[in-house]
Structure 1
Amino acid sequence: MSTVMRRPGLAARFKLATVRTSFVLGSRLAPRRTADRAARLFATPFASSRARARAAAPDAAMRRQTLSIHSQSIATYVWGDPATQPYVLLVHGWSSFGLRFLPWVGRLRALGYAVVSFDQPGHGLSSGHYCTLPEFADTVRAVGRHYGEAELAIAHSLGGAAVALAQGEAWRARKLVLIAPAADMHAAATRYFRFVRLGEHLRRPFYAWLVKRTGITVDELQMHRHVTALGQPGLIVHDLDDADVPWDEGERYARHWPGARLLTTQGLGHHRVLDAPEVIEAVLAFARGQTVGERVVASANLPYGLA
């Protein structure tokens, strides 16, 4: 689900201009067909996800496995033995791939964890073409159930929302770290509409395509409706200069999630925050049981205060 809009190169800018022009014309001449096309594009990961996954060079200790999940072949990457060691589940974001977390693996293994990562449907080396947030969450849950309850889950961007949604009786992680997590699919759709110049009158049929595919409304994907029920400790890491998923979406998680704390960074943006050394150190400290970040307090008199 296209929550992240990167600055395109020359060829991509030409393609973007063509898409925008076709959407402007189509919204007038064939609004329903245009809304469906826009929704399919919204749910189509960038091709760069597959190219970067093929180019990644993991160490010899990694084992590649394939799971069959909801008629898709899901590529997984495993270090250590999740059956006998506490393991960490790593969940990538939109148009990314499981081996994006390679800078984390050695540090997590040094703490005694097994490590599991994977490619979402339509991403990396997994099969599929389209993918939405509910499908992100379903895949997290299915991968997690295969390997068992995780000691820790670390997730980035849309993966953060997916991990939060995936928690429940079927599967859970004992601790959660969400880095630059998306919190509001209404806001993500608004950013997308602006990016591709899609007319606001197409929002209802655009949402209808997503509901038809997943059976879930966009309202149900607002994360403040879910995180109040999370009982495990959580750490939210979000950068003030994140131009893709605004900092206030991460703050919203911490405000509504009783067991979460917020670590705010600056100058890292949406992508560099994932493997910045200071972020990795803070997350490892959290994994060891240290207090990291600030507790966000929300009340009628102090809606955004810190304590």
Structure 2
Amino acid sequence: MGYVFPKKAAGLAYKFFSEPREGKLLPNAIPDILKEAEQEVLFHEDCTIQTYTWRGNENKILLVHGWESNASRWEEFIILLKKSKCTIIALDGPGQGLSSGIEFNIPLYAKHVNTLMEKYQPQYIIGHSMGGATCLYYQYKYNNPLLQKMVLLGSPSEFELILSNYKKTISLNDKVFQLLKEKIVERFNIHPSEFSGKKFASGFNFKGLIAHDIDDTVVAFNEGKQIAEAWKSSQFIETKGLGHSLHDKELYEKIHLFLFEE
């Protein structure tokens, strides 16, 4: 199709790139950890945003999951965070969990994050994978002065690298790939080359913690390293054997220490 109908092929390529295949939840079958939370639906434009809150003290944390996931991915970490008596807030991203929509992309996700930040005003934000990239873009875009600390887990830095890997995965020819990039610029008013996590982080003056596993086969280890090197007030944790998910009690305890006991 890329050779015969390149514009149609680019449209399909964008569709496959932006529509999660997994991560949806059914209202009558949500995980137990989410049942424990106060559930509230917020609205942004024509989207509904499913939120979850575990009430605690004035210390507030927002948890931002990644691609093809939902708020339940934080279960192990939430169990630890509850011991600190902080208030924990999580959301289901666009087209995932119980939130509405079909398309998932970072600019839209950042708008949803901003909706929660304005309502709950958390001092800390934690993102995994594409959720981490969303946190970086959110702060770059909205420059929230109330944000004190950010934690990134297995987060990508360079959007052009993501696109290049996608091109290889589905064997796009150069013509269709160029049309895909033009569609992204038209859709979000930002060129893929300008969408850089390390660039966004280089302007941050609050504290950050970046964790990345050397065995991550989804997002290259060097991506996290580049963000940490650009972010002068951040620290970097290198892990091994945790893969992309980074679910680990010891790592979660280090994050807890960074947030509350540093």
TM-score by length of 2: 0.93
- Pick the aligned partner of 2:90 from 90, 109, 117: 117
Mark the runs of 5 or more structure 1 residues left unpaired by the alignment: 1-25, 291-307
Amino acid at match of 1:163: C
RMSD (Å), alpha carbons: 1.8
Alignment of 1:18-167 (within 5 A): 26-46=1-21, 48-51=22-25, 54-58=29-33, 61-80=36-55, 85-148=58-121, 150-167=122-139
In 2: Cα distance, 1:229 partner to 1:246 partner: 23
The answer for the alignment partner of 1:229 in structure 2 is 203
Mark the runs of 5 or more structure 2 residues left unpaired by the alignment: none
In 2: Cα distance, 1:70 partner to 1:58 partner: 28
The answer for the alignment partner of 1:17 in structure 2 is none
On the 8 A contact 1:145/1:171 being kept in 2, the answer is: no
Highest Rg: 1 or 2?
1
In 2: Cα distance, 1:103 partner to 1:52 partner: 21
In 1: Cα distance, 2:49 partner to 2:35 partner: 20
Tell me by how many angstroms 1:108 deviates: 1.1
Residue 194 (str. 1) matches residue 147 (str. 2):
no
The answer for the alignment partner of 1:295 in structure 2 is none
- Pick the aligned partner of 1:283 from 235, 255, 262: 255
> 1:117 aligns to what SS in structure 2?
strand
In 1: Cα distance, 2:61 partner to 2:201 partner: 20
On the 8 A contact 1:144/1:171 being kept in 2, the answer is: no
Q: Which 4+ stretches in 1 moved above 4 angstroms?
A: 51-55
Q: Which is worse superposed, 238-247 or 195-204?
A: 195-204
Cα pair distance change 1:114/1:196, threshold 3 Å? same
In 2: Cα distance, 1:55 partner to 1:63 partner: 13
Task: Quote the sequence identity (%).
Answer: 26
The answer for the alignment partner of 1:254 in structure 2 is 228
* Count of matched residue pairs: 259
Amino acid at match of 1:124: G
In 2: Cα distance, 1:93 partner to 1:170 partner: 21
In 1: Cα distance, 2:119 partner to 2:150 partner: 18
TM-score by length of 1: 0.80
In 1: Cα distance, 2:210 partner to 2:162 partner: 19
